[in-house]
A and B are shown apart, each in its own frame.
Chain A
Amino acid sequence: DIQMTQSPSSVSASVGDTVIITCRASQDINKYLAWFQQKPGKAPKSLIHATSSLHNGVPSRFSGSGSGTDFTLTISSLQPEDFAIYYCQQHKSFPLTFGQGTRLDIK
């Protein structure tokens, strides 16, 4: 199975800041990497697929990059609604696997 490791596990930031979350795959997954956002008590929301393609309706302050084994999610100009847990997930092969999550808190 492909293991996904996110860092940091948690990060604190202020409104207006830029935050970068990283995700590392245990083997080459090309560009088959997705990002999801989850707020407390809510279902996840799909943000990005194929490393850098935003799902419909996702603000452009979210961006993704990377290939192979190393990927990043960048959130620019943080808004109050962006404070949540973020998960990466590889969609190259089964079993699909998620990272452990990164909690983004307000500083």
Chain B
Amino acid sequence: DVQLLESGGVLVRPGGSLRLSCATSGFLFSDYAMYWVRQAPGQGLEWLSALSGGTAGTAYYADSVRGRFTISRDNSKSTLYLHMNNLRDEDTAVYYCAKGLSIVTGTIAHWGQGTLVPVSS
């Protein structure tokens, strides 16, 4: 079975940094595009970033996080990361890791359970 397990969500102050991890199993990690999606409290889903599969991968970002967040992957560890800098109050959300259907970026097939990132002073 495909499993995605996010971690790293902790209370952080505005302006701070955080790294989220998504440990995966049940599939050949390097062969799939991966995504980060977040959901602010009581709100809808917001796509943040995508990274195509393979050794290098091409990254894509939402305007709301471009220049502050960086997506990366370690294929040897089957793990996806989201490095977040200069965090703002409005970044408070549950952050979901997700797996695509193929090596190229496209649609989302599987979701992790999410990790909460509260940003507050």
Contacts and interface: CB of A to CB of B under 8 A. Distances in A.
Do A and B share a complex? yes
SS class, residues of chain B in contact with chain A? strand
A24 interface: no
A91 B96 contact: no
Interface residues of B, number: 23
Interface stretch (B8-16, B22-30, B74-82, B111-119): B111-119
Interface in B66-121: 96, 101, 105-114
B56 interface: no
A101 B44 CA distance: 7
A39 interface: no
Contacts of B111: 43-46
A54 B46 CA distance: 22
A43 B113 contact: yes
**Interface residues on chain A, size class:** 20 to 34
Interface in B20-53: 35, 37, 44-47, 50
Interface stretch (A13-21, A61-69, A73-81, A92-100): A92-100
Contacts of A34: 107-108
Contacts of A50: 107
B63 A95 contact: yes
B58 to A, nearest CB: 10
A36 B113 CA distance: 14
Interface of A: 32, 34, 36, 38, 42-46, 49-50, 55, 87, 89, 91, 94-101
Interface of B: 35, 37, 44-47, 50, 60-63, 96, 101, 105-114
13 contacts: A36-B45, A38-B45, A43-B112, A43-B114, A44-B96, A49-B106, A89-B47, A91-B106, A94-B60, A95-B47, A95-B63, A98-B45, A98-B47
Given A96-B47, A98-B46, 14 more contacts: A34-B107, A34-B108, A36-B108, A43-B96, A43-B111, A46-B108, A49-B107, A49-B109, A50-B107, A91-B107, A95-B61, A98-B44, A98-B45, A101-B44
